[in-house]
Structure 1
Amino acid sequence: MNAVGIDVSKGKSTVTVLQPFGVVIAEPFEVLHTACELKKLVTFIKSLSGETKVVMEYTGAYYEPIANALYEAGIFVSVVNPIIINDYSTNRVRKVKTDKVDSLRIAAFTLDRWLELRKYEPADTVRKTLKIMNRQCLNLNKILVMQKNNLIALLDSSFPGANTLFTSPCRETDGHEKWVDFVLKFPHVDTVAKLSLSAFKAKYQSWCKKEEYRYSEHKAEKIHEYARTLVCTIPSTESIKMVISEAAKALNSTLEALGKLHSEMDALSTQLPEYEAVMDMYGVGKTLGSQLIAEIGDIRKLHSSKALVAMAGIDPPPHQSGTVDTRSRSISKRGSPSLRKTLFQVIGVYLQRQPENEPVYQFLEKKRTEGKPYKVYMIAAAHKFLRIYYARIKEVILAQ
């Protein structure tokens, strides 16, 4: 039995080899994540006599070069959640943190859990690409919120309430929002209020035609009337117009990038076997559906619906000691925050539309009528949704 513990970091890893009873076969040594160094490591591990298992931690994408190289060479590799390794190694008073010590701990963990280790299998290209794109979408959404708040703050001084003039959703072709394009053309209240109604109508109609928005004469009249009631606190100078226009352009650029990412994610998702089944689920559209598929991944890697719930981090861990048995517990939050966010968006659709024939909504409403707080019934509904998701997708994949 050869237990190879690898502590992974950016660009390099520290490797230790142990045998039962603490016999050190190889003292900790460093391996760079280059083709030549990884080839040498493969040769070294294959030269060890007896059965060999390699264990490393999930560390972002840093573990992938070495894990894939060993997997392709036919070596048993297991990639473990760092929390499990950390919990295993907390049985000491003095805390020591070095790459060498960590690789020794991982090797010791390998020996201790030898029969429980799960073999690593690289994610297929489509699923991996989907997850990368979804994480980019989440990052862009954060930037989008900041840019919207910034533009609205600027408009509060030049054209208060301009962001509330239109309720149209994002345009599918480029992701633009109508109010953002509107303030690009009319960045200050004076660009509307100082025009006559007929002049503004003509200008607004020309803008709608150019930007491919539907023109409404009644809407033009309402905007003009509203603009004449406003009081702005900054003058209509070229500098102010430039600042607002640049902020709107930056926001449009982010909206365009998000639109492209969502379209590409949906196109990639169609290549996966569970796509149709996910799209058939209530509350899931092209955007949320591709996000769910990206974050959950291959359902075959999960042994039960409980594992999927734990993966989302919405499972309340038990807390019992002596005569104390806590019934009201917080969720673990040990899983994917990205998946939890997507789940709450899906459950939000149930709350908005209130489909009485849907099991998830029926369960949510039951908890709500029992007087449960908002977060409690939302998490309960997310539990229900994931259990249904697991059952349906598992059935579809097994049928294929």
Structure 2
Amino acid sequence: MIKINYMSTLFVGIDVSSKSNVVCAIDFDENKYISSSFKNNQPGAEELSIMIADCMAHHKNLNTVVATLESTSVYSVHIANFLSTCETLMPYKPYVFCVNPKMTANYRKSYIGMDKTDPLDAYLIADFARCGRIKKCEPWRGSQFLALKRLTRHRLHLAECITREKTYMVSNLYLKFSELQLLDGDSQPFSNLYGATSSAVLMEYLSPQEIMDSSEEELLHFLADKSKNRIADIAKTSELLKKAARDSYRLDKCMYEPLNVSLASSFNCIQTYQKEIKLIDQAIEKSINGMNPNAFIILKSIPGIGPVWAGGMLAEIGDITAFHSSDALAKYAGLTWRKSDSGDFASEDNPITKAGNTYLRYYLGEAANSVRRHVPEYGEYYAKKYAEVAKHQHKRALALTSRKFVRLVFGLLVKNQLYTGEQLDPEYNIEPN
């Protein structure tokens, strides 16, 4: 947490859009020094920095610049990075804060009847900083992790594309092979319904009836060939597949060909996404090796954590010294819960806030889900939380396991030590500077 002398600070509020940055600069007494608009490009940013520097030079009572803007997708990245590293502003120790738009939206409510215009939005953002609302925010940490972040976020995008495509093709799967899509556990012939063997069966057999009409020897040979002899009990798989075909609904013959075309397209999309994810995984590992190998090695020392999960967490966390406690890191990730108490009533069903970094929450969740399979302590904790409730068992247990995992990640990175399996302190805080 940084210390700012608010009495001698120029508060610069920037309302960012794709084409322009509307700026309002005030001091602690709300004297307005800048109220103008600049193009959201390099010349516009340089013009803004010169105007801020002139303002600081003419008012000797000001010695620090605090620039605050809302985090608006990629549009705020360039101006935030420019102001934090601009040589013109270096004598004035510039701090740049990219705040969650929800924070400024809630702050606006304190101004009853305030119009919504770009200049007023810029003033509101500057006043948000002037009133000390940025005390619990972390300043812009530069572009050190920006390249890695683009890779890890793109990987999440590809993973979501696969999930969306699988969800979309469920209806076509049910229409063509109704029983196969519904089976699970020991009655399901395939461990992965979207795997190579399953897709081969669905694509090369036009209908369930064709599976029924094929001989036992022919089907066994087909399954062995498509699975590359990786099926442990191929006879059982063949038996389950024929049973599923026998129990499935039959369609008019004219429907099977269009369904096959749709399913083939979906399988091709999934395979393409999976191929791209492998390439992104390689790029993530290559990118991170030249950045902060120490933190990367520490995270990979945790059982179940590979380069992708480690890279995803590191890209979003950045420098761990930006967080003074594991609670601050958990809040940044949105792994906190809203309390709902009134009188003697205390709600037991408290939703997670999800107001933090979505990408960090995703990678922490995936990492925690992997760790629980490798570390008994986390597996037992997950099982305990899973058994405590009758609904949302997995989501709740995984969220709580992720919160526990945050303490481990924070403790290891702060202490700069590898995972040894030993119990860390329940809480390890960094005292604010």
- Tell me the TM-score normalised to structure 1 length: 0.79
Q: What residue number does 1:121 align with?
A: 141
Are the counterparts in 1 of residues 203 and 264 from structure 2 also a CA contact under 8 Å? yes
Of residues 303, 308, 313 in structure 1, which corresponds to 2:324?
303
Cα shift readout 1:201-256 (whole Å, capped 9, x = no counterpart): 44555545xxx564775367436643662442242754443333223222322232
The two structures, once aligned, show a CA RMSD in angstroms of: 3.7
- From 381, 389, 396, the equivalent of 2:409 is 389
Tell me which residue corresponds to 2:189. 165
- State the distance in 1 between where 2:383 and 2:160 align: 31
The Cα of 1:141 is off from its aligned counterpart by 3.0
Identity percentage of aligned residues: 19
Give the equivalent residue in structure 2 for 1:151: 169
Provide TM-score, normalisation by structure 2. 0.74
Q: Distance in 1 between matches of 2:80 and 2:417?
A: 27
Contact 1:7/1:13 (CA < 8 Å) preserved in 2? yes
Stretch of structure 1 that moved more, 387-396 or 212-221: 212-221
The alpha-carbon deviation at position 390 of structure 1 amounts to 0.2
In 2, are the aligned partners of 1:277 and 1:392 still within 8 Å (CA)?
yes
Change (3 A) 1:194 1:287: farther
Q: Distance in 1 between matches of 2:162 and 2:189?
A: 19
Q: Does 1:6 align with 2:14?
A: yes
SS class of match (2:69):
strand
Structure 1 CA distance, aligned partners of 2:334 and 2:245? 52
CA spacing shift, 1:354–1:241, aligned 2, 3 Å: closer
**Is the contact made by 2:12 and 2:25 (CA closer than 8 Å) also made in structure 1?**
yes
Deviations 1:340-372 (A, max 9, x none): 344444444566x4854x2x4455566667779
Equivalent position amino acid for 2:269 in 1? A
| Distance 1:230-1:111 versus aligned 2 partners, 3 A rule | closer
The one-letter code matched in structure 1 to 2:74 is A
Question: Contact (CA 8 Å) 1:58, 1:80: kept in 2 or not?
Answer: yes
Q: Any conservation in 2 of the 1:200–1:224 contact (CA below 8 Å)?
A: no
One-letter amino acid of the structure 1 residue matched with residue 17 of structure 2: S
1:251 maps to what in 2?
270
Q: Which shows bigger deviation, 375-384 or 239-248? A: 375-384
How is 1:168-183 mapped onto 2 (pairs within 5 angstroms)? 177-183=196-202
Alignment partner, residue 218 of structure 1:
235
Q: Deviations over 1:82-131 (max 9, x none)?
A: 3443344432221422110011122233433399586433131xx32333
> Cα offset for 1:392?
0.6
Which structure 2 residue ranges, 5 or more long, are not aligned?
A: 1-8, 182-187, 419-433
Q: Which residue of 2 aligns with 1:293?
A: 314
Aligned length: 383
**Partner SS state of residue 175, structure 2:** helix
- After superposition, the C-alpha distances for 1:57-77 in whole angstroms (9 at most, x for unaligned) are 222221111122222323313
Query: In structure 2, what is the equivalent of residue 109 of structure 1?
Result: 128
Q: Which residue, 272, 281, 299 being the options, matches 1:262?
A: 281
Cα 1:65/1:93, change in 2 over 3 Å = same
**2: CA distance between counterparts of 1:35 and 1:89?**
30
CA gap 1:184/1:253 in 2 versus in 1, 3 angstroms = farther
Distance in 2, matches of 1:44 and 1:207, equals 68
In structure 2, the CA distance between the partners of 1:276 and 1:86, relative to structure 1 (3 Å rule), is same
Shift of 1:270: 4.4
State the distance in 2 between where 1:63 and 1:178 align: 46
Superposed displacement of residue 55, structure 1: 2.2
Is the CA contact 1:193–1:227 (under 8 Å) kept in the aligned structure 2?
Answer: no
- SS of the residue 1:292 aligns to: helix
The answer to whether the Cα contact below 8 Å between 1:16 and 1:103 also exists between their aligned partners in 2 is yes
Measure, in 2, the Cα distance between the counterparts of 1:196 and 1:245: 25
CA drift at 1:180: 2.5
Name which of 89, 92, 114 aligns with 2:111.
92
Kept in 2: contact 1:187–1:245 (CA 8 A): no
Q: Secondary structure at the residue paired with 2:26?
A: strand
Confirm or deny that 1:69 pairs with 2:82: yes
Relative to structure 1, is the Cα distance of residues 380 and 253 closer, same or farther in structure 2, using a 3 angstrom cutoff?
A: closer
Q: Equivalent residue of 1:289, what SS? A: helix
